[in-house]
Amino acid sequence: MTVRRTSVSPDLQRAVVFVTPLGDTANAHQSVHALQRAAPYVRRELSALIHMYRVPAIHFQLDPEMMMPAPEAGLPPPGK
């Protein structure tokens, strides 16, 4: 899995980590489910590494951009 981007709520209580699978996308949902089960561990490890009053609750999610088809080479994006 590759972390594409993150989004943190304004109150720093929640963080969404957008991930994409490497290679085969057939098991992407299972991989995200496994990451979600490991989220409490990841949060504990982060709290040991960074100095924040409260480390955000982490939620892993497939990056929606991954589901979009890749643009054809040389063609302008739709609507342009």
The DSSP element (H or E) to which 30 belongs, if any, is: helix 28-37
Measure CA 38 to chain center: 13
Which comes out higher in pLDDT, residue 53 or 67? 53
Burial tier of 10 (Cβ tally within 10 Å: 0-12, 13-18, 19+): exposed
pLDDT, position 76: 62
pTM, entire model: 0.74
pLDDT, position 62: 92
Span 67-77, pLDDT tens digits: 666 555 555 66
Which comes out higher in pLDDT, residue 22 or 15? 15
Answer for the pair 63, 20: CB distance below 8 angstroms, yes or no.
yes
pLDDT, position 21: 86
Assign domain 2-65 one CATH number from 3.30.300.20, 3.30.930.10, 3.40.50.1370, 1.10.3470.10: 3.30.300.20
- Phi first, then psi: give them for residue 34, nearest 5 degrees: -65, -40
Answer for the pair 25, 41: CB distance below 8 angstroms, yes or no.
no
Give me the chain's average pLDDT, please. 85
